[in-house]
Amino acid sequence: MGKPDQVLAHVLAGIAGWAMIAFVLRDAFETMILPRRLNGRFRFTRVYYQSIWPVWSALAVRLRGRRRESALSLFGPLSMLLLFVLWAASLIVGFAALYWGFGTSLQPGAPPSGFGADLFLSGDTIFTLGSAVAYGGWGRLLVVCEGGLGLGFVAIIISYLPVLYGGFSRRETSISMLDARAGSPPSASELLRRHAGALDELQTYLAEWERWSAELLESQISYPVLGYFRSQHVNQSWLAALGTVLDACAMLLACSDEHCTRQAQLTFAIARHAVVDLAQIFIHQLPGTVPDRLPDADLAQLEMVLAEAGMPLRWEAANLRQLAALRQLYEPHVLGIATHLKLEPPRWVGNPNSPDNWQRSPWDRFATGATGRVERGAPDRHY
């Protein structure tokens, strides 16, 4: 290769190095710092998750029982750590290309050391080990810049993790509290049945879930990786909780005359807003066909359960048509997310005789029912 060709190669390497560094820094900034979702732009993080999640989930669903859920639950934390590694590796390669482009060396007065030595220099510098020094060209300035960038990059990651896990903890606290309120797994029938004699309490509880839905929307739009973080128990999830609240609010709006309708409307509005916006993150389009989550047999059982509990609801044809119209506003989004994330969709009708998670223990074969009597429960699979 002649000298002009060598110069051109070094120039192109320098340009490629700058482009790679700028690309990684922009992607990291938009992922960890910028508190909003950007549409219509290529983002490495988005492509990264869209590429590896289908492969991971396809392998995980081949497993059975708790192994399947354990494999799915590992994806969120592991994918995040791998993303950090990819960012760091890209920065190392980008700076190595710059060192090579500027003709740096590891010895004073020596000719350029080659790309392999520059790669070592870049890795040594970004982690501030200080065992290698650059000479020639802009080497020392690049070392200072990369060392400072490495410190800042590590600091941002360290500060990012508490924010991420803080959002996860706040999300899961309300989901755990839903256990005694709506059963395990949660269902609209159990949420309304257990509050049939305490409608004022139900109204207050729906107000709490209005705020929870708003916090879910903001946290998971800012940090979409939280959607892949699964709950502690296999019969609980953020999507099942959100769907249960939507189902209960839809039923109150369609079938109740006065009870909790104002608060149900407010909670339904923000919960529906959340599920629609989150669906745009996780799925490309809504499913073409949506299975009926409330067939006639389940609807009849729902009417019977709530009537026996004394819940004041109307089940006339006009009420059922309004309920069906409300369901169309959110069910396609809920089912689309459930299919993509391999989550169990929420149930309309729960089993009143099934023990809740708080009534179970990995050491007990029996669970104490809410009435105080001892009931035989299903084998615990949630611990």
- Condensed to tens digits (0 to 9), the pLDDT of residues 56-106 reads 999 999 998 888 989 999 999 999 999 999 999 999 999 999 888 888 877
105 — phi, psi (to 5°)? -140, 165
268, with CB counted inside 10 A (0-12, 13-18, 19+), is buried
Whole-structure pTM value: 0.84
Q: Which residues contact 225 (CB under 8 A, 6 or more apart)?
A: 49, 76, 79, 80, 164
Residue scoring higher pLDDT (272 or 382)? 272
* Res 353 pLDDT > 70: yes
* Res 266 pLDDT > 90: yes
| Domain residue extents for the chain | 3-159, 183-352
| pLDDT for position 135 | 61
Q: Which residues contact 332 (CB under 8 A, 6 or more apart)?
A: 286, 287, 290
Mean pLDDT score, 247-263: 88
HEC readout, the chain: CCHHHHHHHHHHHHHHHHHHHHHHHHHHHHHHCCCCCCCCCCCHHHHHHHHHHHHHHHHHCCCCHHHHHHHHHHHHHHHHHHHHHHHHHHHHHHHHHHHHHHCCECCCCCCCCCHHHHHHHHHHHHCCCCCCCCECCCHHHHHHHHHHHHHHHHHHHHHHHHHHHHHHHHHHHHHHHHHHHHCCCCEHHHHHHCCCCCHHHHHHHHHHHHHHHHHHHHHHHHCHHHHHCCCCCCCCCHHHHHHHHHHHHHHHHHHCCCCCHHHHHHHHHHHHHHHHHHHHHHCCCCCCCCCCCCCHHHHHHHHHHHHHHCCCCCCCHHHHHHHHHHHHCCHHHHHHHHHHHCCCCCECCCCCCCCCHHHCCCCCCEEECCCCCEEECCCCCCC
> What mean pLDDT, rounded, does the chain reach?
86
pLDDT digits (tens, 9 = 90+) for 271-304: 999 999 999 999 988 888 888 999 999 999 999 9
pLDDT digits (tens, 9 = 90+) for 135-194: 666 777 888 888 889 889 889 888 888 989 999 999 999 999 999 999 989 999 999 999
Q: Work out the number of other CB atoms within 10 angstroms of the CB of residue 266.
A: 15
Pick the closest to residue 346 from 123, 180, 190, 127 (CA basis).
190
| pLDDT for position 330 | 96
